[in-house]
Each structure stands twice: as C-alpha cells, then as structure tokens.
Chain A
Amino acid sequence: MTSRLSAIALNTFREAVRDRVLYNLIIFVFLLVASAPLFSQISIDVERLILVNVGLSAISLFGVIIAIFIGIGLVSKEIEKRTLYTILSRPVRRWEFIAGKYCGLMMTLLVNAALMTVGFMIAVMITSHGLKAQDMHLLVAVYFTVLEFMVVTALTLLFSSFSSPIFSAILSFSLFAIGTFSLDLRNFAASAHGITKMFALAAAYLVPNLASLNVIAQVAHDQPVGGALVLYNTLYTVLYSAAVTAGAVLIFERRNLK
C-alpha cells in the first residue's frame, strides 16, 4: 500500500517539477519579493510592513493558484489520456490513487512554499538587517498558509473526482473566496433565525474555514499568534481535509471511468 501510494505521489510531484509553469511562478514570486524593497522606497518606515504583506500574500496566492490549477487536472488528465486505465488495471486501489495524488500535490506545494519562504526570509533579513525573535511569527503565518493549501488541495481533488476541469476550477476558486469570509458567514448564521439559521449554519460549517488561517496582517504588525490557535487550526485542517478527501474517495470509488 505505502509503496504504491508513494509511487503515485512521487510521480505527481515529478510531473509538476518537470512542468515549466511551476518554475515561472517561482521566478515571478522571487521577482516580487526582490522588488518589495523598491516599493518601500516610496513610503519610508513601512518598508518591512509592505515586504511582509506582499511576500506572505504572494506565497499564499501562488500556492493556491498552483494547488487549483494542478489539482483540477489530477484525475481528469489521467482519464483523458487513459493513463488511469494502466494504473487501475494494476493492484492499485482507487483510494490509494486519490490519496497518492493528494500527497503528491502537497509535496509540490510544500517544496514550492519552502523555496518561496527562503527567498522571503532573505528579503526580510536584508531589509531589517538581520532576524529578530518576532520574525518567528512570520514562519507561523507560512505554516498557516501550508494548512490553507491542505484544505484547498483536498477540495480541488474532490471536485476533480467528479467534474470537468473548468467546473472544478470555478468551484474551487469560489470556495476559496467564500472560505476567506467564513467567519462572517458563521457570525451571520449565529444571528439568523428559524429555517434561515439552519441553512446558514450548515453552509457556514460546510465551507472551509480559511479566515483563521490568514494571520498575515497580524504578523506584519509583529503581533504574536496564540499557541491555542496554532493547535486548533492544525487540528481543524487535518480533520477537514481528511473528511473532504474521504468524500473524494467515496465518489471516485464507484465512478465509471469513460
């Protein structure tokens, strides 16, 4: 099981790495981070603020874009090119395929985020002339970004297990946008009444909670992130992504692959 799963994961990773689009994005992010000090020439004193905001937002946004654009093709491309037939005619269970794809894309995103973070931290070091203790908060923000990738990847994989790439992309981006405002949705649900409340509550807990995973503004102002939040965010992300992946397995298990 593990060897098959890791083989699928590694192959997914290898495909992404050999795809030049990925490199272009990384180069773009490096350029962005490198040019941040130039932006800040305009407004003195907020140099670091701008750098942290631009850098962390770029790591998050590019990761999400990569997650969605690779994620939508993970299953459909294998069906379209009939490579899935050569996999499923082997002793590979369908859930292993889904889990392997998930791990492979996460591996890609982790490497991607790690590279971007190294570039970003170097830029921070240059602007602040060394690293401070508060800069650890920046890494917490990056960690939350990786948690965000886990959620987005799981959702994209779920959609790609039953719908076309375009439709999966639309669904994934919509849920990403809604998830950013998930706390507003829960607050709204809490203040609603009757049937509306029931639907609103169901929707509020069904959509991914990405609101608490975004602490970029907070760490940009050197505010610490509570340990409880780190713990519960981790717990939530693992449970939610696993639940979504289980959903993808359920759909894929009985699917007739044309």
Chain B
Amino acid sequence: MNQSRKTIVIASVLLVVLFAGAIVALQKIDSARGKDAAIEEVLYLPSGKTVKRLSLGYSSLLAVVYWTRAVQYFGNRHLQDSKRYDLLYPLLDITTDLDPQLVVAYQTGSIFLCQSPPNGAGEPDKAVALLEKGIVANPEVWRMYFTLGFVHYLERKDYKAAEQAFRKGSEVPGALPWMRTMAARMAEHAQDIETAMLLWRGIYETTHDKNVRDGAVKHLASLQAEIDMRELRIRVRTYHEKKGVWPTTWTELVRAGLLGGVPVDPAGQIYKLLPEGGVWVEDPSQFPFLDQAALAN
C-alpha cells in the first residue's frame, strides 16, 4: 500500500508540474506563430467550397468558426491601426461559402470591408461582391439591399447603383417604407449630410457588432458636428455682415440674438471659434470622420 501511495504522490506532483510546463510551452508556441496563425491557413485554402466538402456535413459549425476568425482578425488589425486587411475577404468568402445563410457575415463583413483604413479594409468593391453573393443566397432579406445601397452611396459614391439597391430592397415583402424614401433621395441628394446620417442611423440600429456600432456612433457624431458647424458658420457670417467684424466669443453672437446659447458639440465640448469666421471642434480625435475640407469652408 505504501508503494501505491508513493506512486500516487509522484503522479500527482508530475501531473501539476508537467501541465504547468505544457501551458508555458503553449504560450511560447502562440508567440512563435503570431496572432494570426489560425487565420493564415486561409492563404493555403483553395476555396470555401473545398473546405465545405472536407467539413463532412458540419459546414455551418465550421462557418461559425470562420466567422469568429474574421471578426477576431478584423478586431486585432483594427487595434493595431493597420492599413492592410488582406485576409479579411478570403475569410468572409469561406465563411459564406460554408454557410450561405449566415446573414451577419455579409452584413457586418461588408461594413468591415468597405470603410477606408484604419476603420476598414478599404475594399468597397469586395464589400459589394460579398453583398451581391449574400443577396443571391438570401433574396428575402431586405436589409442586405440596405447595406448594399449604403456601400454604393457612401464608399463608392455610385448614386445610381445605390438608388437601384434601395429600390430593389423596398420591393422585398416586409421592407420598411423608408427604403423607398432612401431610393428617391439617392440621386438628388448626392453628398448630402442628412442622407449620410440616415444611412448610418440605419446601420446603427440594425447591427449587433460592437465594432460596427462604435463606428456608426463616431460617424453619426462627426456628421452631427458637421451639420452644427455648417449652421454656426452661417450665423458667424451673418454677424460679420451686420457688425463688420468677426466675433471672438460665442457670447457676442448670443447678445446679438443670433444664437440661443453657447453651442456644444456631440462630445459635450464647446465649439471653437476661429479667426475670420472659422468654426471647429475642440477635440478632433473625437470625430475621426469629420471632413477636413470643412475647416476651409
């Protein structure tokens, strides 16, 4: 019995020590292979169709694995402020080959793809390709058309294609009526800030992805600031026309009855009044999508 007890003690100690060692070795492996090790295998994969054939009927399970990889890849790159997202499209393509009904992969994936770096891959054409693939597989999902119109309008500036996307989407049973409104706005309101806000609000309300939602919030804030500043510039100019001098504080405008109070930007800070009628935000890092050209206006 003593012999047996000795074996048990030794085996227990070994179990703990060896397992701890294995964990350390595993961490070394991970750091030797780099963060994207699991994802890099897509470089060697011929196509999603092959993967599907090899998945022995567990393709939708595998699709979830690939979708998770895509999200993780995007998240890691985004954190590093990367300019390149080379593997994003192959990952999304394989994901949607494995499970063509995985709507979230088209919807969120295309938004990852379409925005310019570092907020996205800067590949709006691939985003369109992905969404068109998604529409073929899921023609009944009208939101897919919404996202397609969104990409065409905001990232590709292709208003005709955007209008078409919204119109087709509005014809899908169950589509919200404002899809038709969006279609109508496309051509006549090119580059219109309000239209852009409507679109981003649509994205904000439909997405479940944290990355996309945060992006939408920043976009909306930037757009709101842009609308605010446009209006403020008009009022500053009116003041100048009336008084012949540029105002130096907002109080001067309030006193002149041109403003109801000191204007505050969406981040809660007071707008900066620049010399010669310029208006700008206090902290531009809060508004990454603020058009730099607006400063000049």
Contacts and interface: CB of A to CB of B under 8 A. Distances in A.
A239 B27 CA distance: 13
Contacts of B4: 94, 253-254
Judged by DSSP, the binding face of A is helix
Judged by DSSP, the binding face of B is helix
Contact of A184 (B3, B29, B68): B68
A191 B23 CA distance: 18
A171 to B, nearest CB: 18
B3 A93 contact: yes
Given A212-B33, A217-B41, A233-B29, A243 B22 contact: yes
A93 to B, nearest CB: 7
A254 B72 CA distance: 45
Interface string A197-226: 000000001000101100001101100001
A181 B11 contact: no
A186 B35 CA distance: 11
Given A184-B68, A232-B28, A240 B44 contact: no
A253 B15 CA distance: 14
A205 B22 CA distance: 9
B68 A243 contact: no
B19 A249 contact: no
Given A187-B38, A221-B44, A235 B25 contact: yes
Nearest to B75: A191
B18 interface: yes
B274 interface: no
A246 B15 contact: yes
B72 to A, nearest CB: 5
A179 to B, nearest CB: 12
A166 interface: no
Interface string A228-253: 11001101100110110011011001
B19 A240 contact: yes
Given A187-B38, A226-B32, A242 B8 contact: no
Contact of A236 (B7, B25, B41, B44): B25
Contacts of B28: 228, 232, 235-236
B21 A239 contact: yes
Contacts of B14: 242-243, 246
A253 B72 contact: no
Given A93-B7, A233-B29, A187 B72 contact: yes
Interface residues of A, number: 35
A234 B43 CA distance: 25
B15 A243 contact: yes
Contacts of A85: none
Contacts of B21: 235, 239, 243
B65 A184 contact: yes
Nearest to B40: A218
B25 A212 contact: no
B45 interface: yes
A183 interface: yes
Interface in B1-51: 3-4, 7-8, 11-12, 14-15, 18-19, 21-23, 25-26, 28-30, 32-33, 37-38, 41, 43-45
A173 interface: no
A250 B11 CA distance: 6
B7 A94 contact: yes
A229 B32 contact: yes
A87 to B, nearest CB: 16
A93 B11 CA distance: 13
A69 interface: no
Given A232-B25, A246-B14, A250-B8, 18 more contacts: A93-B7, A95-B7, A95-B11, A181-B38, A184-B38, A191-B72, A205-B26, A209-B26, A212-B33, A218-B41, A226-B32, A228-B32, A232-B32, A236-B29, A243-B14, A250-B15, A253-B8, A254-B8
10 contacts: A187-B68, A188-B72, A191-B72, A205-B23, A205-B26, A217-B44, A239-B21, A243-B18, A246-B18, A253-B11
